[in-house]
Amino acid sequence: MEKQKMDRKQEKFKILKFGGTSLGTVERIKHVANLICNNELNLVVLSAMSGTTNSLAEIASLLFNGDIDGAQRDIECLKSKYIEVADKLYLSAKSIEEAKKFILCSFSSLQTIAQSPISSKQEKIILSQGELLITRLMHIYLKEIGIVSVLLPAIEFMRTDRNGEPDIHFIKRNVCKLLKHYPNNRLFITQGYICRNVSGEIDNLQRGGSDYTASLLGSALNACEIQIWTDIDGLHNNDPRVVSTTAPVRTLTFDEASKLAYFGAKILHPTCILPAKLKNIPVRLLNTMTPQAPGTLISDTADTGKIKAVAAKDNVTYIKLRSHYKIPCYRFLEKIFHCFAQS
Ligand code: ADP
Ligand code: ASP
Ligand code: MG
C-alpha cells in the first residue's frame, strides 16, 4: 500500500479524451473501456455519445420557440435510446437497474424543464446531460467488469471566469484537491465540455469543447501526455469529409496544429492546443478503431520546410471596406472593430 502511494506521487497522469464518435454504440463503449484499463495513471475525459448533444440542442431550440410538445417528443425518443443502451451494455440486473435509475432521473429533470419555454441558463443544463449520462454509464460498466474507477464530477473543478475563459487557477486547485481523496486509484473518469461559470451556474466550453477540457486538465495536472482519441488516424493533410485521398500527418508543432484547428480541421477544438503548448505537453491524436496506428504527435519539435496540411472554413463572410480618409486610420479601424464586437 505504502509503495503504491509513493509510486502515484512520482507518476504523471495521462489524459485520454474520447469523442462522441468513439462512444456511439454499445460495442464502442465496451471497446473504449478496454482501452482505458491499461493500469497506467489515467484521467479519462468523455464526450457525450455521438448525436446526443445535437439532440439536446434541438430540444433546447424547440423550447426557445415554445414548441413544448415537440421537445417532449424528442426527450422521450432520446430516453428510449439510452434505455436500450442500458439493456444491451450490462449483463447483471443490478447494473441495468443502477444505470436506468440514473437515466430516468436525468430525463425526468429534462421533462420538468421542458414544461415551458426556457432561459439560456436552462439551455446549459439541458446540454450538460449527454456527458453526465455517458460517464455514469461507463463507470457502471467498469464496475460490472471488475475495474475500479473514480467518477470525478467536472462541475466541481471546471470553471470559467468573468470573461468566460477557463479559470486556470481554480481548475488546478480544485482538481488536485479532489484527486488527493483517492491516493491509491489509477483510473479516473470525468465529463468533457461541461463546467460552471463565474456565478456557479452550469455552463459549457462550447461545441466540441471536450478536447479543451482534456488539455486544460493536462495542463492543471502537468500530465505526461494528452491523447485525443477519435474516429480517424490522426490529423490528415486535408478534410477527409471533402477530399477522398487524404493521409495522416505524423508530426505537427503546437503552432501548426492550432492554426489548422482554427482554420477548420475539425478533428481538434481550436483552443485546445494552447494549454498543452504552454506546458510543453505532447498531444497525440489517435484512432479508437485502430488503436495500434501511430496517429499524429503534436509537440514542440519542428519539422518545418514543407506544407503539411490544408484546412478550410465554410460560411466565411468577406467584407471589403474603404476609408474616405476623413478620419485618421486608427479611428476608422476602431469604428470597424467596434461594429464587429457588437454583431
Ligand atoms: P470526436 O467525436 O472524436 O470529437 P470529431 O467529429 O469532432 O470527433 O472530429 C473527427 C472528425 O474530424 C473526423 O471524423 C473527420 O471527418 C473530421 N476532420 C476534419 N478535418 C480533418 C483533418 N484535417 N484530419 C482529420 N480529421 C478531420
Ligand atoms: N458533446 C459536446 C459536443 O457535441 C462536446 C464534444 O463533443 O466535445 O459538442
Ligand atoms: Mg470533436
SS (H, E, C) the chain: CHHHHHHHHHCCCEEEEECHHHHCCHHHHHHHHHHHCCCCCEEEEECCCCCHHHHHHHHHHHHHCCCHHHHHHHHHHHHHHHHHHHHHHCCCHHHHHHHHHHHHHHHHHHHHHCCCCCCHHHHHHHHHHHHHHHHHHHHHHHHHCCCCCEEECHHHCCEECCCCCECHHHHHHHHHHHHCCCCCCCEEEEECCEEECCCCCEEECCCCCHHHHHHHHHHHCCCCEEEEEECCCCCECCCCCCCCCCCECCEEEHHHHHHHHHCCCCCCCCCCHHHHHHHCCCEEEEECCCCCCCCEEEECCCCCCCCCCCCCCCCCCCCCCCCCCCCCHHHHHHHHHHHHHHC
- Residue 159 domain-assigned? yes
Residue type (1 letter), 310: V
Among all bound ligands, the one having the nearest atom to the CA of 230 is 1
Which has the higher per-residue pLDDT, 181 or 3?
181
Q: Is residue 289 part of a domain?
A: yes
What per-residue confidence (pLDDT) applies to 7?
56
295 lines ligand 2 (CB under 6 A): no
Query: What is the predicted pLDDT for the residue at 180?
Result: 97
Handedness of CA 139, 224, 194, 72 (dihedral sign): negative
Spatial CB neighbours of 261, under 8 Å, sequence gap ≥ 6: 267, 268, 269, 270, 272, 273, 311
pLDDT band at 10 (very low <50, low <70, confident <90, very high): confident
User: Which atom of ligand 1 approaches the CA of 309 most closely?
Assistant: 23
Q: Give the atom of ligand 1 at the shortest distance from the alpha carbon of 260.
A: 23
Distance of CA 287 to CAs 84, 215, 230, 295, Å?
26, 18, 5, 7
pLDDT higher than threshold 90 for residue 316 = no
Tell me phi and psi for residue 51, to 5 degrees. Answer: 95, -25
Mean pLDDT on 258-268? 94
Distance separating alpha carbons of residues 45 and 50, to the nearest angstrom? 15
Distance, in Å, from the CA atom of 283 to the CA atom of 297, rounded to the nearest integer, reads 6
pLDDT tens across 188-239, in order? 999 999 999 999 999 999 999 999 999 999 999 999 999 999 999 999 999 9
Which of 23, 46, 53 to mutate to test ligand 2, by most ligand atoms within 8 A of the CB atom? 53
With 90 as the cut, is the pLDDT of residue 8 above it? no
CA-proximal residue: ligand 2, atom 7 (nearest): 208
With vertex at residue 235, the alpha carbon angle to CA 266 and CA 231, rounded to the nearest 5 degrees, is 75
Spatial contact of 118 and 71, defined as CB atoms under 8 Å apart:
no
For residue 1, the model assigns a pLDDT of 43
Residue 209 lies in a domain: yes
The model's pTM: 0.93
Measured distance CA(266)–CA(21) in Å, rounded: 13
271 lines ligand 2 (CB under 6 A): no
Residue 236 CA: nearest ligand 1 atom is: 24
CA neighbours closer than 13 Å in the CB half-sphere of residue 307: 5
Residue of 25, 267, 268, 284 with the most ligand 1 atoms within 8 Å of its CB, for mutation? 267
Q: How far is the CA of 269 from the centre of ligand 3 (A)?
A: 6
In the block, residue with C-alpha cell 464530477:
153
| Closest ligand relative to 23 C-alpha | 1
Q: What CATH number is attached to the domain comprising 294? A: 3.40.1160.10
Compute the distance from residue 79 Cα to the ligand 1 centre, in Å: 27
Q: Is residue 2 part of a domain?
A: no
Query: Do the domain assignments include residue 73?
Result: yes
Domain assignment of residue 4, yes or no = no
User: What is the extent of the structural domain holding 240?
Assistant: 11-342
Give the number of domains in the chain. Answer: 1
Domain assignment present for residue 1? The answer is no
Ligand 1 pocket by Cβ (under 6 Å): 19-22, 47, 208, 230-232, 235-236, 239-241, 265-267, 309
Q: How far apart are CA 105 and CA 298, in angstroms?
A: 40
User: Is 5 inside any structural domain?
Assistant: no
Mutate to test the pocket of ligand 1, among 52, 53, 232, 252 (most ligand atoms within 8 A of CB): 232
The mean pLDDT value for 15-43 works out to 97
If you average pLDDT over residues 171-199, what whole number do you get?
98
For a pLDDT cut of 90, what percent of the chain falls above it? 86
Average pLDDT over residues 265-289: 96
